[in-house]
Amino acid sequence: MPSWQTACKLDSLGNCANAFIAKLNPTAFGAASLVYATFLGGSGSDQASGAAVDAAGNVFVTGVATSADFPLANALQTTPGGGLDAFVTKLNATGSAIIFSSYLGGSSDDQGAGIALDRGGNAYLTGSTLSGNFPTSNSVQGSCSSCATGSADVFVVELSSLRLPVASLAPATLNFGSVNVGASNSAATVTLANLGDAPLSLGGVATTGDFSQTNSCGSSVAPAASCTLTVTFSPTASGTRTGTLIVTDNAQGSPHTVNLTGTGVSGAWVQLSSTALSFGNQLVGTTSSPQTVTLTNTGNLTLTISKLSFTPTGQISFSQTNTCGGTVAAGASCGVTFIFTPAATGAKSAIVSMTDNAPGSPQTVSLTGAGVAPIVSLGAAKLTFNTQVVGTTSAAKAVTLTNTGTGTLLISSLTASGDYAQVNNCGTSVSPGGSCAISVTFSPTASGTRSGSVTINDNALTKSQVITLTGTGTAVAVAPSSLRFGAQIVGTASLPQTVTLSNAGTTAVALNSITTSGDFTKANNCASSLAPGSSCAISVAFTPTAAGGRSGSLAISDSDPSSPQIVTLAGTGVVAPSYALSTSSLSFPVRVVGT
């Protein structure tokens, strides 16, 4: 709650006898209804007897004052006339400042009784006087007609519009503490507020001593507005330094001032451009981009550097180079450049300490970073393919590659060897937690066991990963690879089904034997050898010997490394249905043709 005078001024007997002014909000209740309240008076006995409010909310008050130290501002009469004096005071709309306040009286007793305002803001004051020398101007009655007999006359006073500026500077003092000679401190601010109801015109703003200022005030400050003055301390010598911020304006009490103090300190002073560096994530075994801290000697003496060390000692993740040497002249700068090369994964930190002759030694810079590395996880380390005819391509087998590490996996190459080929969607990088698929096919170029691999070269700690590949190539093609005969009556032979035996190679294949097992028989037109590019047919029939599922195989033994070739056989034996007739003959009576 704003208040111009927060305490009552006591008289010589310790009694409080001040006037007061309070503003209430009729729409609020309880303590919230009190907008502001303030004492008004000095160390005597002062009483208010009338008040009026203008359109802007400023309050005009009149009454009687006995205090020799009654608060005054822009006063018409700056000293009491004697005895009791009338007073007239104008407070701003918030009750936080006096715009105008004056005694009004002669050498005897004078009292203000009432006050009113017209639309132009002029104030009309009435009261009584016993003073023959009551101040008058443009009067209709130039003297007190009854004062000589001890009786009072009435007085009427008109005061022209009392719109005036009121300047307020806060804070009233600034202490900048210790600043090294030749350097400047962080700036401090002062607020210039116009608490009056007329524009505050500025004649100038200046500082004395080792202080300077800038401001946003311009040439005037509007009523109820404020501006900022920024003051900087730059000591030119050691010891206590004093100065003044001076604001010249058209308000009472001009110039208005703020006392400025600070201490200049001689010596070397260290200013670091940064006291903490973060290198973020860095791949293990690689070096970060350099980061530099600039050290400036802001003092007026030479800086002597005796040691630059890391904590913890023996750490290998961070290193530095610098241009500082053993000394840095006053006003000079040098650079300390750091790099981060993590040898292992995880968070890394260090403190670099600079021991010197400046206050606050050692100066420190904290260093942080994290070592990250990709880790490759393969869904399978080995793929085995079924026997595949030479010159044909198998169905693809897929392996999932997952980066389970903390760094991005950078893939420099991904290749397949031997009779194998691969396609993938890995691209050149896989993010942490990401995965991709590698699809591998087998296209044998010769018979027999065929070996190969998929090799992934990358930046993981293992540098490369290998998927082992194996399969068997055959020149002998058997089609189909299985036969199903369905249901067949036990003891009866099915219709034959044909298996084609082909030589896809470049040399003849010797046929050693062709056999069947189970309830299956075979017949073929194959010779003792099968020429390159030729084929022969093998007929297989099913003659179940019992009911139910029956299985067997066709086995072809030959000179190919993939021998024997096997065709799986299956069928179902069923029992023949049985039936009986209720009679062996039927006799019908004679019937007319067509009936």
- pLDDT tens, residue by residue, 483-513: 999 999 999 999 999 999 999 888 899 999 9
Could you tell me where the beta strands, DSSP code E, fall in 25-122? 34-40, 46-53, 59-65, 85-91, 98-104, 110-117
Q: How far apart are CA 510 and CA 531, in angstroms?
A: 9
Question: Token pair for residue 50?
Answer: 């009338």
Confidence of residue 352 (pLDDT cuts 50, 70, 90): very high
**For residue 114, how many C-alpha atoms fall within 13 Å in the half-sphere facing its CB?**
5
**For residue 231, how many C-alpha atoms fall within 13 Å in the half-sphere facing its CB?**
33
Residue 7 CB contacts under 8 Å (≥ 6 apart), including other chains: 39
- pLDDT tens, residue by residue, 361-393: 999 999 999 999 999 999 999 999 998 999 899
In total, the chain counts a number of residues equal to: 595
Mean pLDDT, rounded, for 555-571: 93
What integer pLDDT is reported at residue 591 of this predicted model?
84
Three-state DSSP class for residue 595: coil
Mean pLDDT, rounded, for 123-143: 88
Q: How far apart are CA 496 and CA 521, in angstroms?
A: 9
What integer pLDDT is reported at residue 314 of this predicted model?
75
**For 476-574, which CATH superfamily applies?**
Immunoglobulins (2.60.40.10)
Lowest-pLDDT range, 84-93, 175-184, 265-274?
Answer: 175-184
Q: Where in the chain is the domain with CATH 2.60.40.10?
A: 167-265, 270-372, 377-474, 476-574
Q: How far apart are CA 472 and CA 526, in angstroms?
A: 24
What integer pLDDT is reported at residue 267 of this predicted model?
84
CATH domain 270-372 topology: Immunoglobulin-like (2.60.40)
Q: How far apart are CA 103 and CA 70, in angstroms?
A: 8
What is the percent of the chain where pLDDT is above 90? Answer: 66
Cα-based distances in Å from 403 to 376, 410, 431, 435, 444: 5, 10, 7, 6, 32
306 backbone φψ class: left, alpha, beta (φ>0; ψ -120 to 50): alpha
DSSP code at position 73 = B
Q: What is the pTM of this model?
A: 0.50
Question: Token pair for residue 167?
Answer: 């300047």
584 backbone φψ class: left, alpha, beta (φ>0; ψ -120 to 50): alpha
Q: How far apart are CA 438 and CA 427, in angstroms?
A: 11
DSSP code at position 290 = P
Report whether CATH 3.40.50.300 matches the domain 377-474.
Answer: no
pLDDT at 2 over 70: no
DSSP code at position 148 = G
Average pLDDT, the chain: 91
pLDDT at 1 over 70: no
pLDDT at 340 over 50: yes
167-265: which CATH architecture?
Answer: Sandwich (2.60)
- pLDDT tens, residue by residue, 206-246: 999 999 999 999 999 999 999 999 999 999 888 999 999 99
pLDDT at 441 over 60: yes
What integer pLDDT is reported at residue 478 of this predicted model?
92
Q: How far apart are CA 134 and CA 147, in angstroms?
A: 10
462, 496 contact by CB (below 8 A) = no
Question: Token pair for residue 578?
Answer: 């049985």
Alpha helices in 76-131 (DSSP H): none
pLDDT at 28 over 80: yes
Instruction: Give 326's strand partners.
Output: none
Mean pLDDT, rounded, for 6-32: 79
What integer pLDDT is reported at residue 183 of this predicted model?
78
